[in-house]
Amino acid sequence: MNPKLLEEAYKRCRNICSEYARTYYLASLLMTKQRQKAIWAIYAWGTRIDEMVDGPNAVYMSKSFLDRWEERLEDIFDGRPYDILDAALTDTVSNFCLDIKSFKEMIEGMRMDTWKSRYKNFQELYLYCYYVAGTTGIITVPVMGIAAESSVSAKSIYNAAIHFGIANQLTNILRDVGEDALRGRIYLPQDELEQFGLSVDDVLRKKGD
């Protein structure tokens, strides 16, 4: 791809990251230039999917749309980007040898939001959090890198990254209980609500605020 167009692609990804996740953006500025750009490209890709499911046009979202997005992801990994933002991720994939599996799992988590709005227990919620956030940890480890002199195993580092992503998602869920309820979604496990004498209707009515 033309270097100037590629630079513009990363610039647009940077703008998305700085607008939607200022904390992550500021943290990225501590990295090397190449790693910065990779994080921006990954975040921009994830944000676009999230906006499809939770943004203003989410009511028009369908499983088939996400299926097409997954096909588009395969094109990105095959070096055939659809648009300028995809081009940034294609370049990132080639620079850091990322695995498509975690990207597909993230899409699977977004699919869950199109058909699932209740979680019976923490095990169900944990799986959802892994798909939509734990996968981010897996994707970004190759970008961050593992020091050659590290005494910690790669497996432990990946597990920590997954747990960090899941913890962030659980924090978001607790923060956005009211906002999610307006969309008809309740991520709080139903068995735990029952333990505290609350029902789904109580959450929808915002009882206990």
Number of domains present in the structure of the chain: 1
| Cα 180 to Cα 135: distance, rounded to the nearest angstrom | 22
Residues 107 and 29 sit within 8 Å (Cβ to Cβ): no
Domain membership of residue 197 (yes or no) is no
| Cα 205 to Cα 96: distance, rounded to the nearest angstrom | 47
**Residue-level pLDDT, tens digit, the chain, 209 residues:** 688 999 999 999 999 999 998 888 999 999 999 999 999 999 999 999 888 777 766 666 667 889 999 999 999 999 999 999 999 999 999 999 899 999 999 999 999 998 999 999 999 999 999 999 999 999 999 999 999 899 999 999 999 999 999 999 999 999 999 999 998 999 999 999 999 999 999 998 875 55
Which uninterrupted H or E stretch holds 65?
helix 63-77
Domain membership of residue 119 (yes or no) is yes
Residues 80 and 63 sit within 8 Å (Cβ to Cβ): no
**The domain spanning residue 61 has which CATH number?**
1.10.600.10
Domain membership of residue 192 (yes or no) is no
Evaluate if pTM is beyond 0.85.
yes
Please give the DSSP secondary-structure letter assigned to residue 82: S
Of 183, 196, 185, residue with least CA distance to 58 = 183
Task: Report the amino acid identity of residue 99.
Answer: D
pLDDT for the residue 52 = 79
Domain membership of residue 128 (yes or no) is yes
Dihedral sign for Cα atoms in the order 19, 20, 25, 27 = positive
Domain membership of residue 8 (yes or no) is yes
pLDDT for the residue 2 = 86
Domain membership of residue 108 (yes or no) is yes
3-state helix, strand, coil in the chain (%, to 5): 75, 0, 25
Domain membership of residue 186 (yes or no) is no
Domain membership of residue 193 (yes or no) is no
Structural domain of 62: 3-175
pLDDT for the residue 158 = 97
pLDDT for the residue 84 = 95
pLDDT for the residue 112 = 93
